[in-house]
Amino acid sequence: MRRFARLLEALAFTPRRSVKQAQLLRYFTTTPDPDRGYALAALTGDLELRQVTPSLLRALISERMDPELFALCYDYVGDLAETIALAWPDGTAPPDPPPLAALVSELQRAGRAELPTLVAARLDALGPTERYAYLKLATGGLRVGVSGRLARVALAEFIGVDVAEVEELWHGVAPPYAALFAWADGGPRPEPARASLRPVMLATGFDDADPETLDPADFAAEWKWDGVRVQAVAEAGERRLYTRTGQDISATFPDLLERLDFEGVIDGELLIRTGDRVAPFSDLQKRLNRKRVSGALLARLPAALRAYDLLRWQGRDLRAEPFVTRRAALEEAVRALGDPRIDLSALLPFETWEALAALRAAPPDPVIEGVMIKRRASPYLAGRVKGHWFKWKRDPMVVDAVLMYAQRGHGKRSGYYSDFTFGLWDGDALVPVGKAYFGFTDAELRDLDRFVRNHTTDRFGPVRAVAPRLVLEIAFEGLNRSSRHKSGLAMRFPRIARIRTDKPAAQADRLETLRALLPPEGA
């Protein structure tokens, strides 16, 4: 446990990706099994524990510390785990804390009624650094600047193989990844699991490319739909539906799963589609993350797959083939399936980037986010490889809103107010319309934090109300009607595009301006 605590501390205070990778490599080299495997699973988000909730932790600390004093400490620190780790009364810590594997095992076995006693006993027996690591582990809140991809890159370096090989096997192994670490120690390469996710190919932004260096004739383009990128896998009698991050959502979409009557792997977009109409993302959200889907919901919001690419078909791996070859095979495969719920993403006719820009600016459906641009000669490569695939999203919608509330951030942002609620005018009152967590630079974050502290009008725990004086230009990708919000509207991917210190709050946009951006009913 001590090694894991030191690793988290080092990762949290290391900004450079290369140094984080070196720290992970050192940890894998110096830490025995199964601790290194459980640490890897915790960093990649693949460790399933009976998670300890913030309410449980607040109840435990309130028994040991005045709640008002703790609230002041939490407001200053900004991170619940860090505050409790520092404020928890020191007990008698053993010279050697238990191994990480032992702590993981007891958290996995513990029943809900046992958790408070178990967690309190462990916090009593750990020092502040280990307490912090334990709480991050138990709550699943590891925010140390390490993505799952970076952790797997470090593991691949440790094994001595390309990261694509690790990702090919990843979804067929489980924590603590004994087979992978045995492979690193000279053992055999693990066999890939049946019906597992293939490493997903991602695109880079076309806005960051130089079109003058790219010949339009070398590329194909298709619409970028606002759904969920998935892989539909049907192999050896097993059928699976995965998100691009590897989440198995098969049980949530049984209506689509039953239609995977083939032997292969299709890459595409999961959509809700009624007839020819593609529903907005808000309708798809109603079906995501459900353990059970009612018959009424299946009938009202039927799932469909819009196919983009073909990775494997009837025993043949197509990923090394150029895109044009895979596309021809995909067209034939979709035609042979003859299933109206599995259709083909159409290619767009264009000869110049200007012509494609015109198509992008006026898509035929409001659910289209932009265009995808794919090099015709491109193989299907894992990860975000530059120069092969590009995404060119539509210009975002923009409104000028007024900052209303701010909340302390977490992790590296725990010392700043970084979560901002903004509103628009409705008559003489401001109505909250959204919340933004990003879009600003570090320097702008410091300016926003300073404004919040200097213009606070009220406090609600970690949240501050601020005087309605600062205008923020908010960019967002889409807008839907929502009965869950007071404004009746829900923005898609809102972010702070500019801080408008030049604009008086009274001149910010009004709610009717935002409503005018809604797509027509039934569109």
Backbone angles phi, psi at 184, to 5 degrees: -65, -30
Active site residue 20: no
Q: Measured between alpha carbons, how far is 145 from 143 in angstroms, rounded to an integer?
A: 6
CA-closest candidate to residue 388, choices 326, 439, 336, 341: 326
| Distances in whole angstroms, Cα of residue 187 to Cα of each of 41, 155, 163, 181, 183 | 21, 15, 18, 8, 4
Inter-residue contact 201 to 167 (CB < 8 Å)? no
Q: Using DSSP, state whether 334 is helix, strand or coil.
A: helix
Q: For residue 390, what are the contacts with CB-CB under 8 A and spacing of at least 6?
A: 203, 204, 205, 206, 209, 372, 373, 374
Q: Which DSSP letter does residue 411 get?
A: G
Q: For residue 258, what are the contacts with CB-CB under 8 A and spacing of at least 6?
A: 239
Residue tagged active-site, from 224, 286, 386, 486: 224
H or E segment at 492?
strand 489-492
Measured N-to-C along each axis, helices 35-44 and 100-109 cross at an angle, to the nearest 10 degrees, of 60
Burial class from Cβ neighbours inside 10 Å (0-12, 13-18, 19+) for residue 83 reads buried
The answer to whether the bond into 176 is cis (omega within 30° of 0) is yes
Which residues are marked as active site?
Answer: 224
